[in-house]
Amino acid sequence: MFDFDSIALMQVLPLCAFLLPFMVLGAIDSFSGQVLTQQSMTWNPTKSTGVPNPGTFSGAFPRGSTTYGYGSSGVGNINQIFQYTLTVGAGATNNLTLHGTQTNAVGDLLATLTAIKEIKVELLNTSQGGGANATSISLGNAGANPWAGPFGTTGVYTLNSGDMWAHQDLSSAGKAVAATSVLKILNNDGSNAASVRITIFGFS
């Protein structure tokens, strides 16, 4: 004998099975306006004495800023944004699977990531909001399924306390992320935990 709840459930399940192939899990639907990232720098040094001539000078880093539109492909598009902070224990390693393990900017759990257009990794010290002052971390060279980022599958990049590493790929496809791609984060400090903030723009 079926009760009312069982009958209702039996009616709903076929509808869910029909809709599931049309649902995209962990994706951003649209942007309100455009997404702007800044890489700009300006400088105005002064030379008081010496040769060739004293004076006030100025300059700028010509790359300026990057504006992204919404889209699942293309040079100037993204449709996935992440920012999260990980705590890596003293002397420990976090083998971070980039796809399907983190919450995106609109709160989708286990959000998908198939390519990266821009990534920033920061080792936060306590003055920057970090929980501790780990001396350094190393990125890359995961033992299994390493993400083939800008320094390849075996390369290693080290950040000291307070440092930031950033990479941008403005090609149409970006840097590919497989379902099992791992970014290894090794805390080189055996006494202090590391607070690692990661920001990613890419494709779902």
Q: What are the pLDDT digits (tens) for 116-135? A: 999 999 999 999 999 999 99
pTM of the model: 0.79
Q: Is the pLDDT of residue 8 over 60?
A: no
Instruction: Kindly tell me if the per-residue pLDDT of 186 is higher than 90.
Output: yes
Residue 13 maps to a domain: no
Number of domains in the chain: 1
- 21 within some domain: no
122 occurs within a structural domain: yes
Residue-level pLDDT at 124: 98
Is residue 130 in a domain?
Answer: yes
Share of the chain above pLDDT 90, in %: 62
Domain that holds residue 86: 79-204
Q: pLDDT band for position 28 (50/70/90)?
A: confident
pLDDT value, residue 110: 93
Q: Which of 54-58, 79-83, 96-100 has the lowest mean pLDDT?
A: 54-58
Q: Is the pLDDT of residue 79 over 80?
A: yes
In a domain? residue 9: no
> Does 64 reside within a domain?
no
Return phi, psi of residue 138, to 5°.
Answer: -120, 135
Q: Which CATH number is 86's domain given? A: 2.60.120.10
Asked whether the beta carbons of 194 and 126 are under 8 A apart, the reply is: no
For residues 163-177, average pLDDT: 94
Q: Give the residue, 91 or 49, on which the prediction is more confident.
A: 91
Question: Residue 26 — pLDDT band, cuts 50, 70, 90?
Answer: low
SS3 of 43-95: ECCEECCCCCCCEECCEECCCCEEEEEECCCCCCEECEEEEEEEEECCCCEEE
pLDDT at 53: 65
pLDDT of res. 61: 63
Percent of the chain past pLDDT 70, that is, above it, reads 74
pLDDT for residue 66: 84
